[in-house]
Amino acid sequence: MKIVNIGLIGFGTIGAGVVKVLKKKTTTLQKKRGIKLQLKYVCDQDISTSRGISVDKKILTTDVEKVLNDPNIDIVIELIGGIHPAKEFILKAIKNKKHVVTANKALLAEHGGEIFDAAAKNNVEIYFEASVGGAIPIIKSLREGLVANQVQNIFGIINGTSNYILSQMSLKGCDFKTALREAQDRGYAEKDPRLDINGMDSAHKIAILTKLCFSKKVDFKNIYVEGIDEVGLQDIKYADDLGYCIKLLAIAKKSGDEFEIRVHPTLLPKKHLLSSVNGVFNAIFINSDFAGDMLLYGQGAGQLPTASAVVSDLLEIANKIDNPNSISFSNMDREVPLRKMRSIDNVETRYYLRFSALDEPGVLSKIAQILGKQNISIYSVIQKGRRQAQAVSIVMMIHEAKEKNLRRALAQLDKLPIIKRKTIAIRVERG
């Protein structure tokens, strides 16, 4: 039987999950695939704290060089996350002709080019199923299942923590802080949960998906990103009254020779399939030329769901080691061209706007006039409450407007004495 030796770097939540899954499934995997996945090292700075799983002391090490330089190691799993030193570890593993499995979305989104080039040069594989959508086999679906298709657009809920928070706020009226604490306690959030909340984690993931679907080059720092930190209970409630829910969506669309890519809170009609995706669940909607519409749904975070994706990568690589002539779908660049990223200024979307405006005659006409001058057309308006000569919420839905026109209009509106607080603007997608 083929034995494939593995070195795990990073014994945190997901790392411990990988050890658990391997322990439970090694015999079944051996029987099913005829390959033995042998965990030779588990490496971390802290090897004394209990992870809720017993590990043979002989394989625990704090010496990462031992893992990277051992000629018997076939696959290195990197699960420490972040850019440094993960990048250096991965590059060294590649240089030493080891295949790599990683869940490191930040690294792949920001430095993927360098890493994939190094892997190609050294003839080794990089697998990263766990980097997007936790347990959902989205990478495999795009590379293999949809290989005969051109994806037209791909969008979804790809951050479990923020979806958990928005769901708790919406379904239970829970406040933001309590929901975040719960998500952290359940092991969904990143070490630095700001990345979940400020949309960067979703941006990393959609950058990876975009590289697989639309363009070899995605300039990460130019991706438009807004997080959920400013989504209030009030807007969740008003959106609900209008027949919408609010989700943090990551969106990438092909449009002629360009593509657009953005992450932001979004109003989605309640009848849209993604609207019923709650809690830590992720869902990714794909539209492609031959396959049409498709929705992948599953647990996007958490120890065992994510670990199962890592183990699936291990088996793929192990299979390739065992059958070196088998077909490889892993070349990230495939036939993906070099399309241009559309500037957010030129993106057109519908909007939900909430003005905090004085409740007095003539206010609406002043707002409508400024919007009209920027070529923005109003779809509906509702005033919430009645407080003469005081500020009330005016909720407005507008038709598709160019981002730069809306920004110009809001800059003027927010300076008017009738507007008492910064206007809330949330994009609307029909799906």
Residues lying near ligand HSE in the complex (CB under 6 A): 134, 159-161, 188-190, 196, 201, 300-301
Quickly list H helices, 61-199. 64-69, 86-95, 105-122, 138-140, 160-172, 176-185, 194-197
Smaller CB separation from ligand HSE, 164 or 244: 164
**Within a 10 A sphere around the Cβ of 33, how many other Cβ atoms?**
15
Smaller CB separation from ligand HSE, 141 or 161: 161
On whether the CB atoms of residues 284 and 136 are closer than 8 A, the answer is yes
Q: Whole-angstrom Cα distance, residue 419 to residue 272?
A: 33
Least distance to ligand HSE from the beta carbon of 424, Å?
Answer: 24
Least distance to ligand HSE from the beta carbon of 238, Å?
Answer: 26
Pairing type for strands 292-299 and 348-358 reads unpaired
Least distance to ligand HSE from the beta carbon of 163, Å?
Answer: 8
Catalytic residue among 40, 87, 98, 205: 205
On whether the CB atoms of residues 77 and 306 are closer than 8 A, the answer is no
Smaller CB separation from ligand HSE, 108 or 146: 108
Burial of 417 (0-12, 13-18, 19+ CB in 10 A): exposed
Least distance to ligand HSE from the beta carbon of 423, Å?
Answer: 29
Q: Whole-angstrom Cα distance, residue 351 to residue 423?
A: 12
Least distance to ligand HSE from the beta carbon of 132, Å?
Answer: 8
Q: Whole-angstrom Cα distance, residue 212 to residue 335?
A: 9
Smaller CB separation from ligand HSE, 129 or 201: 201
Three-state DSSP at 187 gives coil
Least distance to ligand HSE from the beta carbon of 164, Å?
Answer: 7
Cα distance between the two ends of the chain: 49
Q: Whole-angstrom Cα distance, residue 289 to residue 371?
A: 37
Smaller CB separation from ligand HSE, 94 or 108: 108
Smaller CB separation from ligand HSE, 29 or 212: 212
CA-wise closest residue to 217 among 113, 139, 360: 113
Indicate if 205 belongs to the active site.
yes
CA dihedral 150, 155, 158, 164 (to 10 degrees): -150
Q: Which residues contact 319 (CB under 8 A, 6 or more apart)?
A: 33, 35, 326
Known catalytic residues are: 205
